[in-house]
Amino acid sequence: MSGCPFHASAPPAPPPPSAARFDLAEELRFLEEIHEQPALSLRLAECRAAHAASRPAPLDSAELRHAARVAWRNHSRCIGRLHWRSLEVRDHRHLDDAEQMAASLREHLALAQNDGAVRSIMTVFAPPDRPGGPAPRIVNHQLCAYAGYRAADGSVLGDPKNVRLTALALELGWRPPTERGRFDLLPWIIAGRDGAPRLFPLPPGFVREVPLRHPEHAWFEKLGLRWYAVPAISDRVFRAAGTDFPAAPFNGWYMGTEIGARNLADRDRYDQLPVIAEKLGLDRRRPRSLWQDRALVELNVAVLHSFEAEGVKLVDHHAASAEFMKFLEREQKSGREVSARWDWIIPPLSPATTEVFHTPMREFALSPDFHAREPDATPGCPF
């Protein structure tokens, strides 16, 4: 996107090396932002003492919750940030054992699915107990995801995005359904503080999914497409007040285009546009018949229609754009500049019909935030 006037991108600050001390200056800044005297002096003193002993920031649960909400508010790629104050935070920093984490994650997902009325939740597990020390982690990129099985001829059954994770799960002893399918839910792979990856298959029927159908085309349902209700990112590091939390999964709800214009449409994902165009009787010989564009619209109609009919919360890209504009306005009123990546904020379907497309944006580093995990340094850990 270089040269694009709407996307002046500065790369976010690199994460500090994992052996770094907990960052005192960042901790103090965070506490100064949220406390007033006399409480502030006390918290600063407690924080300095923890730092001197190389312990993580002693945030209380209310401070942790605020940090998580601000991390969402700061996240430059997210169009849904108007709702940052509604994030619920489960303070599970006392958990560092894989078995207990899996039990907590089952609760997380059940609360988030909420019978279709999806709620935004984050669960924070134990951070390293000393700088650079081992911490628990969830290997899966998301709590819900479909297996991708690579065959000998190179073709993939299922979601090609998850080929590596699927291979790892199989290596660890996962038993997939006897008849492998395109939408087999992957088990969780969790490593506690001991670094040993363990497998946790999901109870059948536990993950809420939506079978896709089209309001006008009866054949659509026969394509057998479906998607899960809750996107729950589980492999990002939550950085709050100078401490990294490598296991802090969080979820929001879907925007329709994530499923309809990317997951099911991208050529290196489920690649469904040719099949849909064929059913629609479109001329696939020439791109300028716009068969891809027309198939894309019908696929997105089906996603929006199916989630709505099933009573599962999902936002369309027009509503999401309007909400983001409201977020920008509110933040401006609060005296804060918003960091945003234009190429992530604009929807992949009909972007220029939404106001965000016509809005210049700038990205800069902020904290608290979420960042990508570094390659693992825990001895004995294979990932």
Q: Catalytic residue positions? A: 78, 81, 253, 258
Between 71 and 255, CB nearer to ligand ARG: 255
Between 95 and 229, CB nearer to ligand ARG: 229
Between 168 and 264, CB nearer to ligand ARG: 264
Q: 151 Cβ partners below 8 Å, 6+ apart? A: 157
Map residue 372 onto helix, strand or coil: strand
* The only residue of 212, 255, 302, 361 in contact with ligand ARG, by rule CB under 6 A: 255
Q: Does 252 bind ligand ARG (CB under 6 A)?
A: yes
CB of 87 to ligand ARG, least distance (A): 11
Give CA separation, 276 vs 143, 220, 282, 290, in Å. 29, 8, 9, 13
Burial of 186 (0-12, 13-18, 19+ CB in 10 A): buried
Q: Does 9 bind ligand ARG (CB under 6 A)?
A: no
Task: Extract the tokens encoding 287.
Answer: 């791109």
* The only residue of 148, 231, 242, 368 in contact with ligand ARG, by rule CB under 6 A: 231
* The only residue of 254, 270, 327, 342 in contact with ligand ARG, by rule CB under 6 A: 254
Give CA separation, 344 vs 16, 199, 347, in Å. 24, 33, 8
Q: Does 158 bind ligand ARG (CB under 6 A)?
A: no
Strand 250-251 versus strand 254-255 pairing type: unpaired
**What is the Cα–Cα distance from 67 to 369, expressed in whole angstroms?**
9
Strand 232-233 versus strand 250-251 pairing type: antiparallel
Q: Does 256 bind ligand ARG (CB under 6 A)?
A: no
Between 135 and 255, CB nearer to ligand ARG: 255
**What is the Cα–Cα distance from 118 to 210, expressed in whole angstroms?**
13
Q: Does 321 bind ligand ARG (CB under 6 A)?
A: no
Greatest C-alpha distance within the chain: 72
Residues 260-299 that bind ligand ARG (CB under 6 A): 263
Q: What's the chain's length in residues?
A: 383
Query: Which of the stretches 11-19, 44-52, 248-256, 271-279 binds ligand ARG when contact is defined by CB under 6 A?
Result: 248-256
Between 243 and 251, CB nearer to ligand ARG: 251
Interface contacts to ligand ARG, rule CB under 6 A: 231, 233, 252, 254-255, 258, 263
